[in-house]
Amino acid sequence: MKNIVFIINVEKPGQTKPEYQFSIDSWKQWCDTVGAELFVLDQPLVDMDQMHIIWQRYYLFELLDHNKIEYDQILLVDADTIVHPQCPDFFKETNHEYCMVHDDGSYDWILRGMEHYEKRIFKGEWFPFWEYGNSGFQIVNSKHRDFFDAMRNFYTQHQNTIRLIQSSFGIGTDQTPLNFMLRKHNIDLKLLPYKYNMTCMTKKEIIGEDHLYTKLGWVYHFNGLPDKSKNVPLLMEKAYNYLYR
């Protein structure tokens, strides 16, 4: 059974993300190197007016079953990432636990999200913010199937509140609820090093024309950037060309 890299590449009507192809191409080449298999979801499973496309990744196991894909471990990774062609096989570092990377970005953003969800849904529950994982890089396996069911049920039960929080405070989609739910369901979580999901690189002053970030880690997450609609496509294309062409 192969390990799987799972990416969502679903475009909203009137919105194109050509930069996502650079992500897909980089992950395809990495999968070929380590003997993994790439799976790209390019159509929504549920009407996106009913469920944000990011929440639909928690149909992962049903989707793999439907396509008769056998697997050992699965990486769910955002399409605004590029992997270094020489990235080590991180699947060997998981101990078959639920793995993420600590979101070492804006702690103001993280804590505001935690506070709003604690106040409105997870009343009285809390966890250390320095153990808060970024949902754009998750490694799971078959023993987490029930937890993914719980994530979908959570969304169904609280979708109105979730949408209110997202629209009112701009604090992301599934990431903060996921972190709370992992603790609520006593899921053993292993945090891998930052080098496997290098978020918010602007704040660390490592992203620029010299491509310094490519010397410091393996998976580059182009989030938390100023003027996102302009800079993300440009920087991802430059990163891909630098590493692969």
Provide the pLDDT for residue 213: 97
Q: What's the CATH code of the domain at 152?
A: 3.90.550.10
Residue 200 near residue 108 (C-beta atoms within 8 A): no
Q: What is the mean pLDDT of each run of 10 residues along the chain (245 residues)?
A: 96 81 97 98 94 96 97 98 98 98 94 96 96 98 98 97 92 95 98 97 94 98 86 95 96
Q: Give pLDDT, residue 155.
A: 97
Length, in residues, of the chain: 245
How many domains does the chain contain in total?
A: 1
Query: What is the distance, to the nearest Å, from the Cα of residue 112 to the centroid of all Cα atoms in its chain?
Result: 20
| pLDDT reported for residue 230 | 82
Q: Which pLDDT score, from 0 to 100, does residue 228 have?
A: 75
**Strand ranges (E), 60-160:** 73-77, 81-83, 98-102, 133-141
**What is the Cα–Cα distance from 226 to 123, expressed in whole angstroms?**
34
pLDDT at position 12: 77
Mapping DSSP to helix (H, G, I), strand (E, B) and coil, where does residue 75 land? Answer: strand
Please give the residue range of the domain that contains residue 174. 4-244
pLDDT at residue 25, as a whole number: 98
Q: What is the pLDDT of residue 227?
A: 81
